[in-house]
């Protein structure tokens, strides 16, 4: 009887590790499926913008509406937030709770500042009569940039959830996995923004 109990005790951690590995594999697979759908979505939106770029309906074009310098500040904010999200992940791997939360908060602040600048730009354009209804060009612009902005908003909510999970559970395997996935998601958004900055604000407005 005792031998049977000991055998069960020895195999229990192996069963739990196998179940955890299967969960991690499914989560990672689902995450990459999601990223691949975004890799399809954003090129389509870029293509739509490219097709509609010259359809200004007699109104203002990119050179008259956009400020590359303003977009450059947004770019610096987002790239810096990508760096701080990496620092948060490194701190988590070293089990430094204080620094992990600190860098997550810095990432949140930078992302929120970026989003605030984006919304301010939208408000300015709409206030001057250059809304998404004004032309095909502006419809393509608002659709592309606002889709990226919605992803940033989702990322900010993700950061808030991560901080809450860290405070409640600590560095569990689940929290570490979510933190790693968030870092990849945030880096992906940076890459998308580099294309937006280059195609919409630089090539279009310069």
Does the residue 155 lie in any domain?
yes
Does the residue 9 lie in any domain?
no
Range of the domain at 195: 24-202
Does the residue 4 lie in any domain?
no
Does the residue 58 lie in any domain?
yes
CATH number for the domain that contains residue 123: 1.20.120.80
The number of distinct structural domains making up the chain is 1
Neighbour count for residue 116 (Cβ, 10 Å): 12
Which residues, given as ranges, of the chain have pLDDT below 70? 1-21, 23, 205-206
| 97/115 Cα distance (integer angstroms) | 27
Handedness of CA 140, 142, 145, 148 (dihedral sign): negative
Does the residue 10 lie in any domain?
no
Does the residue 14 lie in any domain?
no
Does the residue 11 lie in any domain?
no
Write the pLDDT tens digit of every residue in 140-157.
Answer: 999 999 999 999 999 999
Among 193, 206, 70, smallest CA distance to 125 is for 70
Does the residue 148 lie in any domain?
yes
Write the pLDDT tens digit of every residue in 164-203.
Answer: 999 998 898 889 999 999 999 999 999 999 999 999 998 8
């Amino acid at each position: 009887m005792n031998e049977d109990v000991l055998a069960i005790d020895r195999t229990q951690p192996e069963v739990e590790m196998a179940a955890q590995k299967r969960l991690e594999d499914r989560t990672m697979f689902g995450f990459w499926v999601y990223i691949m759908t975004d890799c399809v979505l954003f090129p389509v939106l870029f293509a739509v913008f490219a097709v509609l770029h010259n359809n200004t309906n007699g109104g203002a074009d990119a050179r008259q509406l956009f400020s590359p310098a303003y977009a450059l500040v947004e770019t610096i904010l987002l790239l810096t937030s990508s760096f701080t999200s990496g620092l948060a992940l490194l701190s988590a791997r070293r089990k430094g709770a204080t620094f992990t939360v600190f860098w997550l908060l810095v990432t949140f602040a930078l992302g929120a500042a970026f989003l605030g600048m984006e919304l301010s730009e939208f408000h300015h354009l709409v206030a001057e009569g250059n809304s998404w209804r004004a032309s095909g060009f502006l419809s393509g612009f608002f659709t592309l940039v606002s889709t990226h902005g919605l992803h940033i908003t989702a990322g900010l909510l993700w950061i808030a959830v991560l901080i809450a999970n860290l405070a409640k559970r600590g560095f569990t395997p689940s929290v570490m996995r979510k933190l790693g996935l968030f870092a990849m998601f945030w880096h992906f958004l940076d890459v998308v923004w580099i294309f937006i900055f280059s195609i919409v604000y630089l090539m279009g407005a310069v």
